[in-house]
Amino acid sequence: MSFLALNNIQKSFGPVQVVQNFNMNIEKGEFISFLGPSGCGKTTVLRMIAGFETPTGGTLYINGKDQRPLKPNQRNIGMVFQAYALFPNMTVYDNVAFGMKVAGAPKAETDSRVKEMLGLIKLDHLADRYPYQMSGGQQQRVALARALAVKPQVLLLDEPLSALDAKIRVSLREEIRAIQRQLGITTVFVTHDQEEALSISDRIVVMNAGKADQIGTPFEIYNTPATRFVASFVGTLNLIEAEVIDPASNCIRIGDQDITLKQSLASYNGGDKVSLALRPEAGSLSEGIKSDTALTGQVVSAHFLGSVIRTRMDVGGNVISFDMFNSPGVTPPVAGETVTLRFMAADLLVIRD
Amino acid sequence: MKGSRIGAWIAVIVGASYFIIPLLGTLEFSLRMRRGVYSIDAYASVFTDPQFRATFGYSMLMALLTIVFGMLLVVPTAYWVRLRVPRMRPIVEFITLLPLVIPAIVIVFGYLRMYNSSSVLPLTGNAMGTNILLVFSYITLSLPYVYRAVDTAMRAIDVRVLTEAAESLGASWTTIMFKCIFPNVMSGVLSGAFITLAIVMGEFTMAALLNRPAFGPYLQLVGANKAYEPSALAVIAFTITWLSMGLLNLISGARRGAPAR
């Protein structure tokens, strides 16, 4: 059995089922991100692991032990909240020491552990400060130290970076990942920010309407999205509607242009509609690019974004975006111009609804 | 601009005069016990009266007990309502407002019927039982103010998240309540406490009809039988109230600059 095993977890609030048959096996020391839009059930799953919500159905094991009969204060789980949740009446030192004091740890052990944790987050010089005297980033680091001080078997992070500004978010997420690696602690991270999830996770669970649409490494999630939802939520993927022409030869038609896919269409019939996904960075107007297929269409717009030029072109009613790297020699296409987008057929993926 | 400033000053002066002139009159009258000269004879008379000391001490003790037991009732209730049954909040608020619309005399007659010496719980049968009943009645009277003060303080902190953070760190319910919640709603607890003190020190109906030696009935007794002492007592009562308010402002002002400890 995996270190953290969630089997057929369900949760309903009245008639509304917010988590449906959620399955997930997490190995010890893994960093897993739950990624999805607001209301997809990711925080509810996290709260069920923490014990703040009771599953309506399914089982939940940590290190082989059934967690369902245990109250939140019996689970030995560290949790970091979006709103920091530091105790305003306590100093940084007292906040970090809280869990150990509650557990009745000897004073010397508590003192040494608190100092170790404050050293880990590099805030040992602020031990006497109160939360209101610190920035959001500092408060969240203290919250992390507090959660880790009790040596939890699992660390849960509930959108811990959402309340911080962009620069702090990037540095803190790297810091969280470094600390997680250093301590080897099993971590579940909830976020709606795909960049965050892609950058720090061992695996990502993309959640949609209470279900896990896809579980995979960041590379798999980004490059081979399993569903239309994953494709649209992760990255800026082009979704192209096409018609199956010949399943045997994997031939499809986009507008009036035929393309042969690398992916098998054996489960389709001629005339079936399929959704295809193509990453904006997969195509290029340049003839020099390595490509084995192309689509021709009219430029709808071209936007200069600094390092790249994002161009939108119309192919048989499908608007496809693609990025060109900016350089002094590049001339951006103009609206109405007919262009040919070249790419590898293997980059054009058939996705489920 | 200048005209509106003058208007504002006139409003302030008129308003202040409305409150200050009667007080000055009372103070001045309380100092005229000795014919022809100002003296503090009325105050000396009040302070040397053993009944003043007895009733004042009794009411202070009752106020202290009311504050302690009232807070033990109100803080967990407000906390529980916010955390577990937020939908019950309007109902609980309505219940806490009832003492404002039900006259004290109705409540005390209810007590006398419910807890008389021939009832199942004969609290009025002895002094200790009646004292307990009096504390309960004071808690009831102060409930509308104390509940609001505590509830407002709770609104300022995220009770749910603090509770969950403490729970995830292994804290029990009592640890959460006394280490994480109480210290962070201390401003509400203190303002509720001072309001309770003011109410208890001046309350007459409950104490008189339960026949307890409280400060309220003493004030009434002195007022009915003496001339200058009631004015001195009024000034003393105002001073106590102002000191309470000043203390409250001092503490809440200090708390704005530093967190609860």
CB A195 within 8 A of CB A234: no
3-state DSSP assignment of residue A185: coil
Alpha carbon separation from A226 to A207, A215, A276, B81 (Å, rounded): 12, 9, 11, 45
A286/A334 same-domain check:
yes
- Tokens matching residue A230: 């994953």
> Do the Cβ atoms of A73 and B168 come within 8 Å?
yes
Q: Which of A225, A257, A288 is the last residue of a domain?
A: A225
**Angle formed at CA A189 by CA A188 and CA A194, multiple of 5 degrees:** 135
Distance (Å, rounded) from C-alpha A311 to C-alpha A319? 10
pLDDT band of residue B77 (cuts 50, 70, 90) is very high
- Flag the least confident range among A102-116, A123-137, A145-159, A287-301: A287-301
pLDDT greater at residue A66 or residue B3: A66
Tell me, yes or no, whether A263 lies in a domain. Answer: yes
A196/A270 same-domain check:
no
Residue type at position A350? V
CATH code of the domain covering residue A326: 2.40.50.100
> Do the Cβ atoms of B168 and A78 come within 8 Å?
yes
Tell me, yes or no, whether A54 lies in a domain. Answer: yes
Tell me, yes or no, whether A329 lies in a domain. Answer: yes
A284/A336 same-domain check:
yes
Give residue-wise pLDDT tens across range B183-219: 898 888 888 888 898 889 889 999 999 999 999 999 8
Distance (Å, rounded) from C-alpha B64 to C-alpha B67? 5
> Do the Cβ atoms of B259 and A147 come within 8 Å?
no
Tell whether the model's pLDDT for residue A327 goes beyond 60: yes
The shortest C-alpha distance from B169 to chain A (Å) reads: 5
Mean pLDDT within B63-68: 93
User: According to the model, what pLDDT value does residue B32 have?
Assistant: 92
User: According to the model, what pLDDT value does residue B36 have?
Assistant: 86
A65/A208 same-domain check:
yes
User: For residue A342, which of A292, A300, A303 has the smallest C-alpha distance?
Assistant: A292
CB A77 within 8 A of CB A4: no
User: According to the model, what pLDDT value does residue A233 have?
Assistant: 87
Max CA distance (Å), chain B: 73
Q: Which of A225, A245, A278 is the last residue of a domain?
A: A225
pLDDT greater at residue A353 or residue A48: A48
Integer-rounded Cα radius of gyration of chain B:
22
Give residue-wise pLDDT tens across range B108-156: 999 988 898 888 888 888 899 999 999 999 999 999 999 999 999 998 8
User: For residue B150, which of B80, B242, B246 has the smallest C-alpha distance?
Assistant: B80
Give residue-wise pLDDT tens across range A166-201: 888 898 999 999 999 999 999 999 999 999 999 999
Percentage with pLDDT > 70 across chain B: 94
CATH code of the domain covering residue A101: 3.40.50.300
* Residue B231 C-alpha from the chain's centroid: 22
Tell me, yes or no, whether A230 lies in a domain. Answer: no
Distance (Å, rounded) from C-alpha A87 to C-alpha B233? 44
Give residue-wise pLDDT tens across range A213-271: 999 999 999 888 888 889 888 877 888 999 999 999 999 999 889 999 998 888 899 89
Q: Which of A92, A102, A128 to mutate to test the interface with B (most CBs of B within 10 A)?
A: A102
> Do the Cβ atoms of A78 and B260 come within 8 Å?
no
Total domain count, chain A: 2
Beta strands in chain A (DSSP E): 4-13, 16-26, 31-35, 57-62, 65-66, 77-80, 154-158, 186-191, 203-208, 211-216, 238-246, 251-254, 257-260, 273-278, 293-304, 308-315, 318-325, 338-343, 349-351
Tell me, yes or no, whether A266 lies in a domain. Answer: yes
> Do the Cβ atoms of B168 and A71 come within 8 Å?
no
> Do the Cβ atoms of A131 and B259 come within 8 Å?
yes
A218/A292 same-domain check:
no
Q: Which of B159, B168, B184 to mutate to test the interface with A (most CBs of A within 10 A)?
A: B168
User: According to the model, what pLDDT value does residue B253 have?
Assistant: 62
> Do the Cβ atoms of B170 and A88 come within 8 Å?
no
The domains found in chain B, sorted by start residue, are 49-257 (1.10.3720.10)
A176/A256 same-domain check:
no
A292/A170 same-domain check:
no
Residue type at position B110? G
CB A156 within 8 A of CB A188: yes
ipTM value greater than 0.85? no
Concatenating the DSSP letter of every residue in A297-315 gives: EEEEEEEE-SSEEEEEEEE
A293/A178 same-domain check:
no
Q: Chain A residues with CB inside 8 Å of B169's CB?
A: 73, 78, 98-99, 102, 146-147, 150
CB A66 within 8 A of CB A143: no
User: According to the model, what pLDDT value does residue B1 have?
Assistant: 55
Indicate left, alpha or beta for A190 from its phi (over 0: left) and psi (-120 to 50: alpha).
Answer: beta
A173/A259 same-domain check:
no
Tell me, yes or no, whether A150 lies in a domain. Answer: yes
Mean pLDDT within A152-157: 95
User: According to the model, what pLDDT value does residue B260 have?
Assistant: 43
Instruction: Specify the residue for token string 């296409």.
Output: A333
> Do the Cβ atoms of A72 and B168 come within 8 Å?
yes
pLDDT greater at residue B247 or residue B234: B234
* Residue A246 C-alpha from the chain's centroid: 36
Distance (Å, rounded) from C-alpha A243 to C-alpha B107? 81
Q: Which domain holds residue A165?
A: 4-225
User: According to the model, what pLDDT value does residue B218 have?
Assistant: 92
Alpha carbon separation from A172 to A126, A160, A164, A327, A349 (Å, rounded): 17, 9, 9, 33, 34
Q: Which of A185, A205, A225 is the last residue of a domain?
A: A225
Query: To the nearest whole number, what is the mean pLDDT of chain A?
Result: 91
Query: To the nearest whole number, what is the mean pLDDT of chain B?
Result: 88
A205/A301 same-domain check:
no
Backbone angles phi, psi at B93, to 5 degrees: -60, -40
Q: What is the DSSP letter of A333?
A: -
pLDDT band of residue B261 (cuts 50, 70, 90) is very low
Tell me, yes or no, whether A231 lies in a domain. Answer: no
A282/A204 same-domain check:
no
Backbone angles phi, psi at A111, to 5 degrees: -60, -45
A206/A256 same-domain check:
no
CB A127 within 8 A of CB A119: no
Alpha carbon separation from A121 to A142, A198, B147, B166 (Å, rounded): 7, 23, 40, 20
Mean pLDDT within A121-127: 91
The shortest C-alpha distance from A316 to chain B (Å) reads: 52
Mean pLDDT within A17-34: 94
Count how many pairs of residues, chain A against chain B, have C-beta atoms within 8 Å.
77
Tell me, yes or no, whether A336 lies in a domain. Answer: yes
Give residue-wise pLDDT tens across range B162-175: 999 999 999 999 99
